[in-house]
Structure 1
Amino acid sequence: MTDEVNSILRFAYEKTSFMLGKHFINKSEFVLSYIDTLIYLLTNSSKERGIVLHHGTSIPLYFAIAITAFKAYLSDDSDNTAFLNDLNIDDLVIYNDKRGVYKGKDPNGNIIIVNKDKGGTPTTNYVPVTSANKIQPYYGDGKTLDGRGIRKKRNIIDTISGLFGIKKQEVKSVITKGVVIVCDRYKADEIFGHMTLSINGKRVRMCELFAAAYYTSNDVYHYPGNVAKTDPVIRFVNKISLAREMILEDPEIETLVISDLNYLSNSSSELASIYERTSLKSIILLGEICKGISSPLFNELDNLQPFVWTRDILINYENYYIQEEHIHDEYIHPESKQLRQMIKNHINLEIEIVEIKEFFINEDFRDCKKILLQLLKQNDGLLSKLVQKAYWLINLLEKSIFPISVMEEIITKNQINAPSPTTEFAALEMAANNYLGTNIETQLKFIIEEISGKFFEMQYTNPKFEYLLKNITNGIDQGEAAVICPKIYYKKIFTEAVPDHLRKLIEKVDFFTPNNYSSSKIYQNVYVVGALDWSNLNPLLLSNSGSVKLILYPNELNRYQQANMYTQSRLSVLSKNNSLVKESSSSNNNSPVIPLSYKAVSEEIYIEDQLEALSESLSLSYLGELPVPSSNTVIQPLEIKRIALLDSGERIFLTRFYSAYIYNMDKKSVQETDVYSLSEGDLLIFTNYDSTTRDIVEKIMNIVIESDNCSEQFRESYRRSQRWKKSLREYVHSRQISFKQLSEMMERLGSPKHEVTLRTWLDEESHIVGPRDIESYRIIAKLLQDPEMLESPEIYYQSSREVRSMKVRILKYLGKNIIRTLNKNEEIYDDILSLLPIDLSKMSRIVQIEKIINIENLIVPPHLANRPIQF
Structure 2
Amino acid sequence: MDNTPILSMMKKCDILFENESISNGLLISTFSYYMSSLMHSTKKDSGIIYHTGSSIFDLLLTTFAALSCLVYDELTPQELVASLNPGDIIIYKDRTRAEFLGIDEKGFVKIQYGSTKGKYQSPITETISPASFYKIKPYQGEATILDGRGILNDSKAKIDFLQSAFETELSDISSVTKKSVVVVSSRDFADTFINNIRIRYDGTESVCITDLMPVSYFSENKEYPYRGNPGKNNPVLRFTNKVSVARDQVYADEEKSIFAIAVLGGQIVKNGESELPDLLNRRSLKKAFISVPIIDGFDSLCETYTDATVFACTKDMLLSSSLPITPQGPLTLEIETQIANILDREIIEYDADSIINSEEYRDFRHNIQAVRHHVQNDDLIDRLIIESYSLVNYLSNITFPLNMVEAKRQNIEIVFPSASEKITFIKSVIENYDGVLATLLLKISDILDKAYRAVETKNPKEALLLKALYNALESGTVLVLVPKSYHVDILKSLLPTDISANTQLYIKTIGAFDHKGSYDSVLFVGCLGTKRFSIFSVFVSPIVKCLLYPHERPLYDYQKKAYAQKEAKLNNRSAIKYDFGNVDEEEAIQNVEILDDFEIEEYIDAITIKTALQTISNTVDGVTTKADIVRVATTTDGESVFFTKYYTPYIFDRDQMTVTESTVKDINAGDMLLFTKNSDQTKDIVEEIIKKLAVSNEQINEAFRKSKHWKNRLLKYKQENNLSFQDLSDEMKAYGTPKHAVTLRTWLNPESRIIAPREEGSFYQIALICEDEEMMSSPEAFHEACNTIRSLRIRILKLIGQSVIKNYQHASENVSFLSSIVRDELDALSQIVQIDAIADVCDVQVSVTYANRPYAL
2:109 corresponds in structure 1 to: 109
1:490 has 2:479 as partner: no
The answer on whether the counterparts of 2:271 and 2:665 sit within 8 Å (CA) in structure 1 is no
Out of 245, 250, 261, the residue aligned to residue 248 of structure 2 is 245
1:838 has 2:823 as partner: yes
1:128 corresponds in structure 2 to: 128
Summarize deviations over 1:179-201 as a string: whole Å, max 9, x none: 11111122222333211221111
2:308 corresponds in structure 1 to: 304
The answer on whether the counterparts of 1:680 and 1:849 sit within 8 Å (CA) in structure 2 is yes
2:160 corresponds in structure 1 to: 158
Out of 74, 89, 110, the residue aligned to residue 71 of structure 2 is 74
C-alpha displacement of 1:270: 0.9
The answer on whether the counterparts of 2:350 and 2:464 sit within 8 Å (CA) in structure 1 is no
Whole-Å Cα distance in 2 between the matches of residues 118 and 64 of structure 1? 51
1:602 corresponds in structure 2 to: 593
Count of matched residue positions in the alignment of Structure 1 and Structure 2: 843
- Which blocks of at least 5 consecutive residues in structure 1 are unaligned? 324-328, 585-592
**SS of the counterpart of 2:199?**
strand
Whole-Å Cα distance in 1 between the matches of residues 443 and 807 of structure 2? 42
1:621 corresponds in structure 2 to: 610
**SS of the counterpart of 2:303?**
helix
The answer on whether the counterparts of 1:515 and 1:537 sit within 8 Å (CA) in structure 2 is no
Whole-Å Cα distance in 2 between the matches of residues 115 and 465 of structure 1? 83
1:283 has 2:288 as partner: yes
Out of 539, 564, 572, the residue aligned to residue 568 of structure 1 is 564
Summarize deviations over 1:626-678 as a string: whole Å, max 9, x none: 44499997753111112234444434322222223335688765443332334
1:384 corresponds in structure 2 to: 382
C-alpha displacement of 1:416: 5.8
Q: Which moved more, 1:402-411 or 1:378-387?
A: 402-411
**SS of the counterpart of 1:111?**
strand
**SS of the counterpart of 1:265?**
helix
Summarize deviations over 1:520-574 as a string: whole Å, max 9, x none: 2222212223222342224324332112222211001111112222222232233
C-alpha change, 1:269 and 1:538, in structure 2 (3 Å) is same
- Which blocks of at least 5 consecutive residues in structure 2 are unaligned? none
**SS of the counterpart of 2:559?**
helix
**SS of the counterpart of 1:616?**
helix
Whole-Å Cα distance in 2 between the matches of residues 583 and 210 of structure 1? 41
1:197 corresponds in structure 2 to: 199
2:665 corresponds in structure 1 to: 676
C-alpha change, 1:678 and 1:385, in structure 2 (3 Å) is closer
| TM-score (normalised: structure 2) | 0.88
C-alpha displacement of 1:153: 4.5
Whole-Å Cα distance in 2 between the matches of residues 81 and 677 of structure 1? 47
C-alpha change, 1:411 and 1:868, in structure 2 (3 Å) is farther
Out of 227, 237, 240, the residue aligned to residue 234 of structure 1 is 237
C-alpha displacement of 1:35: 0.8
Whole-Å Cα distance in 2 between the matches of residues 715 and 143 of structure 1? 43
C-alpha change, 1:172 and 1:795, in structure 2 (3 Å) is farther
C-alpha change, 1:828 and 1:760, in structure 2 (3 Å) is farther
Out of 833, 836, 840, the residue aligned to residue 854 of structure 1 is 840
> What pairs up with 1:249-264 in 2 under 5 angstroms?
249-250=252-253, 251-264=256-269
The answer on whether the counterparts of 1:99 and 1:115 sit within 8 Å (CA) in structure 2 is no
The answer on whether the counterparts of 2:485 and 2:508 sit within 8 Å (CA) in structure 1 is yes
Out of 680, 687, 704, the residue aligned to residue 718 of structure 1 is 704
Whole-Å Cα distance in 2 between the matches of residues 185 and 667 of structure 1? 19
1:578 has 2:574 as partner: yes
Whole-Å Cα distance in 1 between the matches of residues 25 and 635 of structure 2? 43
Whole-Å Cα distance in 2 between the matches of residues 126 and 866 of structure 1? 64
Whole-Å Cα distance in 1 between the matches of residues 35 and 102 of structure 2? 42
Out of 295, 301, 317, the residue aligned to residue 313 of structure 1 is 317
C-alpha displacement of 1:134: 4.3
The answer on whether the counterparts of 2:96 and 2:113 sit within 8 Å (CA) in structure 1 is no
1:427 has 2:443 as partner: no
1:509 has 2:494 as partner: no
Whole-Å Cα distance in 1 between the matches of residues 814 and 320 of structure 2? 48
C-alpha change, 1:83 and 1:736, in structure 2 (3 Å) is farther
2:740 corresponds in structure 1 to: 754
1:36 has 2:33 as partner: yes
1:740 has 2:726 as partner: yes
The answer on whether the counterparts of 1:406 and 1:493 sit within 8 Å (CA) in structure 2 is no
1:271 corresponds in structure 2 to: 276
Summarize deviations over 1:576-610 as a string: whole Å, max 9, x none: 222222799xxxxxxxx99899445536x24x455
> What pairs up with 1:586-735 in 2 under 5 angstroms?
598-600=589-591, 602=593, 605-606=595-596, 608-628=597-617, 635-663=624-652, 669-687=658-676, 692-706=681-695, 708=696, 710-712=697-699, 714-735=700-721
C-alpha displacement of 1:82: 5.0
Out of 39, 57, 61, the residue aligned to residue 58 of structure 2 is 61
Whole-Å Cα distance in 2 between the matches of residues 489 and 805 of structure 1? 33
Whole-Å Cα distance in 2 between the matches of residues 121 and 152 of structure 1? 23
**CA RMSD after TM alignment:** 3.7
C-alpha change, 1:700 and 1:425, in structure 2 (3 Å) is farther
1:179 corresponds in structure 2 to: 181
The answer on whether the counterparts of 1:636 and 1:862 sit within 8 Å (CA) in structure 2 is yes
Whole-Å Cα distance in 2 between the matches of residues 479 and 582 of structure 1? 36
1:45 has 2:29 as partner: no
C-alpha change, 1:426 and 1:48, in structure 2 (3 Å) is same
Whole-Å Cα distance in 2 between the matches of residues 744 and 629 of structure 1? 42
**SS of the counterpart of 1:279?**
coil
**SS of the counterpart of 1:519?**
coil
**SS of the counterpart of 2:359?**
coil
C-alpha displacement of 1:98: 5.4
C-alpha displacement of 1:427: 3.2
C-alpha change, 1:244 and 1:33, in structure 2 (3 Å) is same
Summarize deviations over 1:355-378 as a string: whole Å, max 9, x none: 212434323444344333333331
C-alpha change, 1:414 and 1:235, in structure 2 (3 Å) is farther
Out of 190, 206, 212, the residue aligned to residue 188 of structure 1 is 190
C-alpha displacement of 1:284: 0.7
C-alpha change, 1:758 and 1:337, in structure 2 (3 Å) is same
C-alpha displacement of 1:139: 5.2
Letter in 2 for 1:12: M
> What pairs up with 1:436-455 in 2 under 5 angstroms?
440-441=437-438, 443-455=440-452
C-alpha displacement of 1:352: 2.2
Whole-Å Cα distance in 2 between the matches of residues 164 and 641 of structure 1? 50
Q: Which moved more, 1:136-145 or 1:381-390?
A: 136-145
C-alpha change, 1:267 and 1:97, in structure 2 (3 Å) is closer
Letter in 2 for 1:867: R
The answer on whether the counterparts of 1:176 and 1:252 sit within 8 Å (CA) in structure 2 is yes
1:398 has 2:403 as partner: no
The answer on whether the counterparts of 1:464 and 1:551 sit within 8 Å (CA) in structure 2 is yes
Q: Percent identity?
A: 26
Whole-Å Cα distance in 2 between the matches of residues 771 and 348 of structure 1? 52
Whole-Å Cα distance in 1 between the matches of residues 630 and 368 of structure 2? 32
**SS of the counterpart of 2:299?**
coil
Summarize deviations over 1:251-273 as a string: whole Å, max 9, x none: 21111111113323256221122
| TM-score (normalised: structure 1) | 0.87
The answer on whether the counterparts of 2:632 and 2:839 sit within 8 Å (CA) in structure 1 is yes
Out of 840, 850, 853, the residue aligned to residue 867 of structure 1 is 853
